[in-house]
A = this chain, B = another copy of it.
Amino acid sequence: MDAVTSLSVEELRQLQQELQKQYDEYKMQKLSLDMSRGKPAGAQLDLTNAMFDIKVDYLTKAGLDARNYGVLDGVPEVKQLFGDLLNIPVDQMIIGGNSSLNLMYDTIARCFLFGTGGYTPWSKLSKIKFLCPCPGYDRHFAVMEEFGVEMIPVPMNEDGPDMDMVEELVVNDDTVKGIWCVPLYSNPQGVCYSKETVRRLASMKTSAPDFRIMWDNAYGVHYIYEKHSLEDILTACKDAGNADRVFYFFSTSKITFPGAGVALMASSLNNVVEIKKHMGVQTIGHDKLNQLRTLQFFKNADGILAHMDRLAKELRPKFDIVIKTLEEQLGGTGLLQFTKPDGGYFVSVDTYEGCAKATVALAREAGVVLTGAGATYPYGNDPKDTNIRIAPSYPTCEELQKAMDLFCLCVKLAGVNHLLEEKKK
């Protein structure tokens, strides 16, 4: 298709008519499809069903009876499993419950209630700001809103957040207390942070001594097309003399079963002591049987990696459909830009400026639910109204193809409508 953006008013009107007709026909189909959340499909979850056959061996090598109370920070061999997988020293790791989001929320809550590193509790300070690389993950932003943290958007580049801007923002403002990062296959763009980005984050000079990196490595082993490696942030921070700067998070929600997996966090030895002090008041311990179930299902880190190959194989055809359909139907139109991700759960697209909300609304009206436009920005405010997060994992391939056909049509229709409005002015 030729560049729609260079058409005349007359040509646009004709195209609008054609597109509207096609759109009306879609509406007759009464579709009901969901591409809103990074939720695995049933067929993907089936690949893990053998986990239900695991009869947990509850006595650990060290003679611990995991049916009973005890062990705040995780069963040692399970810590070893994840240590091997993620290259994290086990003494810097704390295994939590089923949700890494819960670990992140509680981490922020502790900073507010008690402070971290011996510094003033954030609840006692009049203003707290966090840097939020955008587009980003709406649930991170929701945690910030919950605690009344002012979010400062930072643009994402191909190798991570715009580090020049980050460095400038943190160096002179001690109310800037942290940054949210999804460093591998970021949500939603699939950006992988470069070594240089990680090193700059670890070593940059911050005005706040209790500045913290919320390192949500949600997709740490979740490749689809190509495996990327990630510079070790724990070591980078330590080497830069900022060992306490990073809180690292991971979970098996998108490895085994969402909401029934195992979450973990990692940090400096100091921070681990501090966290365990509070966590030991909060709970006697997390679910050790589910930790062992996970270990006994995978056996070792290679077992997890082999499983990720199977999941990638299951997800790849869906990402293929999204990318192929976007390229075929919108390539050259000037109405959409996107980058093919190598992993993660999303394809992030940018419509023609000012068209994201209209596109999502059109799709919803025709029965395809997308993540709300703006959700990938703090306060739901996408200043150019361009970004849409496509989550291809939940529908079947057949449903996804239908949904993507409709989506492309909506991008075009919203784009043409917008161009005609612009020409009127």
A residues near B, CB below 8 A? 37, 39-40, 42, 45, 48, 52-53, 55-56, 58, 65-70, 97-99, 101-102, 105-106, 109, 112-113, 123, 139, 142-143, 145-147, 253, 257-260, 278, 281-290
Contacts and interface: CB of A to CB of B under 8 A. Distances in A.
A106 to B, nearest CB: 8
A55 B52 contact: yes
A38 to B, nearest CB: 9
Contacts of A289: 257, 260
Given A39-B68, A97-B286, 19 more contacts: A42-B65, A42-B67, A42-B68, A48-B67, A52-B56, A66-B260, A67-B257, A68-B257, A68-B259, A69-B259, A98-B287, A99-B286, A102-B283, A113-B123, A139-B284, A142-B281, A146-B281, A258-B284, A287-B290
Contacts of A42: 65, 67-68
Report, nearest first, the 8 A-B pairs whose CB atoms are least far apart: A260-B289, A105-B282, A69-B258, A102-B283, A99-B283, A67-B257, A146-B281, A98-B287
Contacts of A257: 67-68, 289
Nearest to A72: B259
Contacts of A65: 42, 45
Contacts of A253: 69
A287 B287 contact: yes
B105 A113 contact: no
Contacts of A285: 99, 259
A68 B281 contact: no
16 contacts: A40-B68, A42-B65, A42-B67, A52-B56, A66-B260, A67-B260, A97-B97, A98-B283, A99-B285, A101-B282, A105-B282, A105-B283, A106-B282, A112-B113, A142-B281, A260-B289
A257 B68 CA distance: 6
Contacts of A70: 259
Nearest to A106: B282
Contacts of A55: 52-53
A136 B295 CA distance: 38
A328 B256 CA distance: 56
Nearest to A291: B260
A250 to B, nearest CB: 16
A58 B53 CA distance: 13
B113 A287 contact: no
A58 to B, nearest CB: 8
Nearest to A70: B259
A281 B143 contact: yes
Nearest to A40: B68
B97 A98 contact: yes
A53 B42 CA distance: 24
A113 B147 CA distance: 8
A325 to B, nearest CB: 25
Contacts of A112: 113
Contacts of A139: 281, 284
A260 B262 CA distance: 13
A219 to B, nearest CB: 16
Nearest to A258: B69
Given A113-B109, A147-B113, A282 B102 contact: yes
A253 B67 CA distance: 10
Nearest to A100: B283
Nearest to A280: B142
Contact of A260 (B52, B142, B143, B287): B287
